[in-house]
Amino acid sequence: MVPRLVRSSVPSKGSPTQPNSGESGFLARFSASDEQREWFSPSPAGYERGRTKFVVVIGTVMSGLGKGIFSSSLAKLLQDKGLAVAPIKMEGYLNIDSGTLNPFRHGEVFVLADGLETDMDLGTYERILDQDLSRRNFITAGQIYGEILDRERRGDYLGRDVQMIPHVTGSVKLRLRELAMTGGPNGTPADVVFVEVGGTAGDYENGFYIEALRELAFEEGSESTCFVALTYILEPATLGEQKSKAAQLGIKRLMESGVQPHVIACRATNPVGEKVMQKIGMFSNVPMKRIFSMHDRESIYVIPDDMRANGLDREILSILNLHDRVKVTHEDKARRTWNDFSSKLSTPRARRVTLGIMGKYASLRDAYASIDKAVEHCGVHLNATIDLKWLDTSSLDTTGKVAATLKDVDGIIVPGGFGQRGVEGKLRCVEHARTTKLPFLGICLGFQMAVIEYARHVLGLTDANSTEFDPSTSHAVISELPDQKKLEGIVGGTMRLGGQDVLLESESFAARLYGSTTVRERFRHRYEVEPSFIEALQAAGLHFSGRHPHHPIMQVLELCASDHPCFLAAQFHPELTSRPLRPQPLFMGLAAAAIVRKYPDAVRDTTVARWLNSPAAVAAH
């Protein structure tokens, strides 16, 4: 006899649900009685409905307006009050992750510590919250559909027809409740889960997310969920005034989905006028005190302060009935620490330098968003304005062009990337930096470029290359990882990803920068230094100062000669771990060297000297 499918009814607020262990009999685990019901709203074992609150940020009008920036800034204010916050990004595309997405279409790929390749918004959350995230903080439609189809093939749905409602929406709610149970520090429950829905209201691909969130708010009970609509205020140059009609229609579309926003965030170039806010409030049923002008600012890091000044944090606490969980002492300390950083963003700085970003996505800054932010962090801590010059290496086909292009920069970064376009130009830039003592930082592919350039021009292996670019080269100084050579080269499935330990030599420049001989950084690469060339390269003066703890995998290089102010490269992506209050050491070393190159007297500045590769700096510290 085939067992009857029984879907769980919605438990009353505060009541525990059925156990959630194992995959067999997926729906049967959530049975509440022998009566078949239309509810399907699974929860983890011990989950208490209404205990964790949810803030949901949904866009209208158009995408790319900064939902992640708004959500993470608001989450920081609640985190500062002592609440445990857990962000999650929901993407509507069918990709399992962001690893194969073209940066021109979706910005940079941000790699989490556990190796998941995600949307760049996860980087914004990590930086502003100073919190490492994991795969539980990122959902795609492909993940949800894949899990459901796997369950259906195993028979976990007990013969029932599998539908968008309730099964797909139920799976989304389960993911959110699992995060609520474990998203706090050290796997503890979160006080507030911040949910960012990718795209905009009205998109076909995210409609099931919005429906799941509407259901979630109903099931969790009153004061459980705060919906935020982030919209766009047009300001056509020909009219000379702000127009709210598009915003009104976008919010109306959201309301047609059954979602009544509690807060409106108005994205705009200039501060949103009161009359526009009045119109928005009138047509959305949102009071003026809950409408926030999210206009352009000099830095995203001042938005939390502006939200606090507007009282938006207190409004969220009232909507969610969270005032009794606030820790005033914790908030005072956190606010002072953040203000010490954010107040420096608008303070005039003593020095100004320029760093060149030698990439192939120079026309799209989002492709290198984490590098942009890592440099910004350094500028604040070193009291210098650091301008970035975005340069496409595809056109740098002669050494003369390279010299002319780099004559006005004080240091260069050669970032990561895939594919052959622009590679020869990058090699010329590395050679220029090495021979002219221009401060240099190579990242991932930039690390490999430094090895190839050194092999060609110092070892004399003129055809030295990577098997990625020339599989038939007779001197493959860069080749595939040994473990990957056994695999069938599926794009996105053969890389070394996520956090890995790096051992640094104690007297190296890198170790001095980190202040440690063991660090953990995030990787995203498929190729490495071929072990058979390591001894020759080191004998010629290229120092591999950072290595894998157990295998002959080179992870950091620098020049042995101490007369180069900064020639560093890392196989990992140091930009991914830079935080506003904790700038990344390799970037600090590059920035300090660039400052002293332009302002030699800066060597007397103890803050700058701490990060320099010179005997005097070492002796002073």
- Average pLDDT of the segment spanning 309-331: 96
Chosen domain end from 341, 367, 387:
341
Instruction: Mean pLDDT check: name the lowest of 25-34, 105-114, 156-165, 263-272.
Output: 25-34
Mean pLDDT (whole number) for 397-411: 92
pLDDT category at 158 given cuts 50, 70, 90 is confident
Catalytic residues: 444, 573, 575
Residue 13 has pLDDT above 50, yes or no: no
Q: pLDDT confidence of 395, banded at 50, 70, 90?
A: confident
**Residues 372-390: tens digit of each pLDDT:** 999 999 999 999 999 999 9
Q: Are residues 361 and 324 in the same domain?
A: no
Spell out the residues 6+ positions from residue 614 whose beta carbon is closer than 8 angstroms to its own: 562, 565, 603
Q: What pLDDT does 40 receive?
A: 72
Instruction: Examine the pLDDT at 360 and tell me if it is beyond 80.
Output: no
Query: Residue 117's beta-bridge partner residues?
Result: 111
In a domain, 62, yes or no: yes
Claim to verify: residue 524 and residue 563 sit in the same structural domain: yes
What's the pLDDT tens digit per position in 170-179?
999 999 999 9
Residues 326 and 363 in one domain: no
Domain carrying residue 314: 27-36+44-341
Q: Are residues 337 and 356 in the same domain?
A: no
Q: 185 and 65, same structural domain?
A: yes
Residue that is last in its domain, among 341, 365, 384 = 341
Please check whether residue 14 lies inside any domain of the structure.
no
Q: Give 298's DSSP letter.
A: S
Give the domain CATH number at 126.
3.40.50.300
Structure tokens given for 32: 């509440």
**Phi, psi angles (nearest 5°) of residue 405:** -70, -35
Per-residue pLDDT, 23 = 43
pLDDT tens per residue, range 169-224: 999 999 999 999 999 988 999 999 999 999 999 999 999 999 999 999 999 999 99
Same domain, 291 and 366: no
Number of domains within the chain:
2
Q: Establish if 491 belongs to a structural domain.
A: no
* pLDDT value at 437 more than 60: yes
User: Could you tell me if 114 and 220 lie in one domain?
Assistant: yes
Question: Given a cut of 90, is residue 482 above it in pLDDT?
Answer: no
- Is this prediction's pTM over 0.95? no
| Helix or strand run (H / E) with residue 547 | strand 542-547
- Domain assignment present for residue 20? The answer is no
In a domain, 1, yes or no: no
pLDDT value at 487 more than 60: no
Whether residue 405 sits in one domain with residue 356: yes
* CA dist., res. 610 & res. 540, Å (int): 28
pLDDT of residue 366: 77
The verdict on 283 and 423 lying in the same domain is: no
Q: How confident is the prediction for the chain on average, in pLDDT?
A: 89
Domain identity same for 458 and 560: yes
Average pLDDT over residues 133-155: 94
Does 579 reside within a domain? yes
* CATH number of the domain residue 523 falls in: 3.40.50.880
Whose CA is closest to 249, among 58, 62, 61?
A: 61
Check whether residue 512 and residue 583 sit in a common domain: yes
Using the predicted structure, report yes or no on whether residue 475 has a pLDDT greater than 90. Answer: yes
pLDDT-based confidence at residue 536 (cuts at 50, 70, 90)? very high
In a domain, 321, yes or no: yes
Considering only residues 482 and 490, tell me which one the structure prediction assigns the higher pLDDT.
482
Residues 6+ apart with CB under 8 A from 463: 456, 470, 473, 474, 475
Is 576 among the domain residues?
yes
Name the pLDDT band for 488 (thresholds 50, 70, 90). Answer: very low
Residue 483, judged by CB atoms within 10 A of its CB (0-12, 13-18, 19+), counts as exposed
Q: What is the tally of helices (H) and strands (E) in the chain?
A: 20, 21
Domain stop point among 288, 323, 341: 341
pLDDT at 485: 56
Q: Do 332 and 362 fall within a single domain?
A: no
Question: What average pLDDT does this structure show over 16-36?
Answer: 44
